[in-house]
Amino acid sequence: MSDSETREVQWTIHQTHPERVEEVRAKLSEVVDPEIGMNIIQLGLIRDVSIENGIGHLKMILTTPFCPYGPAMIEMTKAKAVEGLNMPVNIEMGLDVWDFSMMEDPSALDWGMYS
């Protein structure tokens, strides 16, 4: 894969509920990190989405552990996930440390804002 290609993160629902992927991705892409100006899908902050017993489960990380917008982004993510999955949703914060390799579109690095 070249650096100009996008890399869609594969979630559990890609295998278990593929019909739900497009809608939940669309809704989650409405959540934008206000400091970076990119949405949480582009940044790769949603590490997994699964459905178990009629409840959606999202594993999410933030770009920095002390992100000042973190609480607001988590609440917005939960609201958009509920809309996209049409069911209650729990969010689990992952311990992974975010880095640029998690981004779905590495060409965003060409903007020059990340040197």
Task: Please state, in angstroms and rounded to a whole number, the distance separating the CA atoms of residues 23 and 76.
Answer: 16
Q: Establish if 85 belongs to a structural domain.
A: yes
Quick: pLDDT tens for 76-115: 999 999 999 999 999 999 988 898 888 887 666 555 544 4
State pTM to two decimals.
0.86
Residue 8 included in any domain: no
Answer yes or no: is 49 within a domain.
yes
Which residues span the domain enclosing 90? Answer: 13-110
Does some domain include residue 37?
yes
In a domain, 56, yes or no: yes
- CA-CA distance, 110 to 54, in Å (whole number)? 41
pLDDT: which is higher, 73 or 106:
73
Query: In DSSP terms, which residues pair with 38 in a beta bridge?
Result: 33
Please report whether residue 7 resides in a domain. Answer: no
Judge whether 64 lies within some domain. yes
What angle in degrees, to the nearest 10, is found between the helix axes of 21-28 and 70-85? 150
- Per the model's pLDDT, the better-predicted residue between 110 and 63 turns out to be 63
Count of domains in the chain? 1
CATH of the domain at 79: 3.30.300.130
pLDDT of residue 31: 97
The reply to whether 104 falls in a domain is yes
| Average pLDDT over the chain, rounded to an integer | 88
The fraction of the chain above a pLDDT of 70, given in percent, is 86
Q: In angstroms, what CA-CA distances link 16 with 10, 11, 79, 114? A: 11, 9, 22, 36
In this prediction, residue 66 has a pLDDT band, given cuts at 50, 70 and 90, of confident
